[in-house]
Amino acid sequence: MSYNYFDIPSAILSLSATALGVLNNPITWPISLIGASVSFAMYYKANMLAHLAKESFYMGVMIYGWRNWTKKVNARNQTKKIEKMDPTLFYFSMMAIFVAGILSGYFLKVYYNSASPYQDSITTFLSMFAIVLTSKRIIQCWIVWLFCDAISISLFLNYALYASATKCIVYTVVACIGYWHWNKIMKKQNQPAINENEYNAFSNACGTSG
């Protein structure tokens, strides 16, 4: 079976998972797991080595993300809030990723004759960083996804994976929407709320727990 046959189902599953991620819905993770399995088969057939490693990494992080997004963090049964990474740390992390991607691309080109080694490596490192940030509900994940998807468009066109290329074009727009929507959620999260001790005292007074 040609790798092209995996392209459309992979794109549909990935887009569905991303839409759920924008909405901050934890169901994004099981859908992502299924999509990653399909993508793994596609990259295996296409001999995209760095992307194979990426999908294996993805699956582990997806399981962690699913748990992290649904885990209760306090007595009020609230889940983890959206947070912001330190800007300086984020900037240096991005610089390190591009350097690592270039070095990795050179290694794949010289020793494995990998197709499109530099684009393949850079997008792999970017996506790995992005999914880790997503699993931790860090808002800058959408900035990383934007870079990753923009670079991925030409990569997928080189392999005639037109559904995946179209998916990445849509993703660049979705990443902007995701950042905007998560920023709105963050602002609501940071509004003054009832103190935790006051909440517990109120619950006890009403004869309820947590």
User: pLDDT, tens digit, for every residue of 80-96?
Assistant: 788 999 999 999 999 99
In the chain, the amino acid numbered 140 is Q
Contact 163, 210 (CB under 8 A): no
Instruction: State the Cα–Cα distance between residues 11 and 38, nearest whole angstrom.
Output: 9
Q: Is the pLDDT of residue 193 over 50?
A: no
CB 97 within 8 A of CB 54: no
> Among residues 105, 123, 20, which one has the least CA distance to residue 62?
20
Contacts of 110 (CB under 8 A, 6+ apart): none
Binned at pLDDT 50, 70 and 90, residue 194 comes out as very low
Give the per-residue pLDDT at 75. 55
DSSP letter (8 states) at residue 74: S
Residue 76 has what DSSP assignment? T
Using one digit for the tens of pLDDT, what is the confidence trace for 30-64? Answer: 999 998 888 888 888 777 776 777 788 888 999 99
Mean pLDDT taken over the chain: 82
Task: Enter the pTM of the model.
Answer: 0.77
Q: Confidence band (pLDDT; 50, 70, 90) for 202?
A: very low
CA dist., res. 134 & res. 137, Å (int): 5
Give the pLDDT of residue 41: 82
Q: Is the dihedral of CA 106, 108, 112, 117 positive or negative?
A: negative
Which residues, 6+ apart, have CB-to-CB distance to 2 below 8 Å?
45
The candidate with the shortest Cα–Cα distance to 22, out of 184, 148, 135, 175, is 175
DSSP letter for each residue of 127-182: HHHHHHHHHTTBTTHHHHHHHHHHHHHHHHHHTT-HHHHHHHHHHHHHHHHHHHHH
Mean pLDDT of the 168-174 span: 90
pLDDT over 90 at 159, yes or no: no
Q: Which residues pair with 83 in a beta bridge?
A: 138
Predicted local distance difference test score (pLDDT) of residue 57: 85
> pLDDT-based confidence at 200, cuts 50/70/90?
low
Residue 81 sits at the vertex; the CA angle it makes with 76 and 84, to the nearest 5 degrees, is 155
**Cβ–Cβ under 8 Å, residues 148 and 92:** no
Residue 203 has pLDDT above 80, yes or no: no
